[in-house]
Chain A
């Protein structure tokens, strides 16, 4: 019984802390709320580093969510909202960094890896084809022997 009570209390407590994270904001429409959720899940918390501001409970994330919400109410576009936060906290807060000279390698890595893989596959295929063709042809005698063996095997199989 005691255990059950403890479990229930713990469950309720976890619910409370969750409620603290997602402070209640009112939205005019479902799509606006979705936009808000997308924005805060793409912004990174500068304090906790590996959390987005949607997940983070730190005071700075709370402030950032607040600003996102206020700017949305003021009719700012997604770009304006993200830019205003980048101006303050740096490129760091974006989980999706812009494509520029510094981040080029970062963005290109998947393409480079796929290309590299393709090259390897092509190389392997070409090489195996070539070695297949270059294989020594059977002489007439060998050909005859091979056919005989195959015929014999077929007979055995039928019998």
Chain B
């Protein structure tokens, strides 16, 4: 019994070590979205490219889409733009943009100059839909299934690797479930 007590500190240290080791390598800045498994929040915002038309959450019905949150003020968005173009062109992915806390003129110039990967862009200058989605920094990319339910949120830049390893598996799973 006494012998065993001598080993107690070692056991505690090993247990704590294992627990802490599991946390190494996790990126604490990437949070799971609180909306996973829930419907896209209701909204009513203007279309960036057609200012006279209003958009709402029914936009996400019918097919699996990526919802990409971007703004011209966001350097990483510039970084991922070419990859979004590639996804839209080569992979035929339907991408809806959320132009977040930006202004229309800058955004349109950006799309004109760099290309437009988005089927539709929601214009959210005050960031209201962004807030409801729990967006805390652009770029963020949500996977939304055909019935408008959020399946996944990726914080940070989308590129070929993220697409292959993260987004595509989620999309395939959403497809299987119907």
Contacts and interface: CB of A to CB of B under 8 A. Distances in A.
Determine if chain A interacts with chain B.
yes
Chain B interface residue bracket vs A: 10 to 19
A92 B136 CA distance: 12
Given A49-B28, A67-B131, A88-B131, A60 B33 contact: no
Chain A interface residue bracket vs B: 10 to 19
Contacts of B137: 47, 60
Nearest to A59: B101
Given A60-B137, A63-B127, A88 B132 contact: yes
B36 to A, nearest CB: 9
B42 to A, nearest CB: 13
Contacts of B136: 46-47, 60, 89
B162 interface: no
A86 B35 CA distance: 10
Contacts of A88: 34-35, 131-134
Interface of B: 28-29, 31-35, 101, 127, 131-137
29 contacts: A46-B31, A46-B134, A46-B136, A47-B136, A47-B137, A49-B28, A49-B29, A59-B101, A59-B127, A60-B135, A60-B136, A60-B137, A63-B127, A63-B131, A67-B131, A87-B34, A88-B34, A88-B35, A88-B131, A88-B132, A88-B133, A88-B134, A89-B31, A89-B134, A89-B136, A90-B33, A90-B34, A90-B134, A92-B31
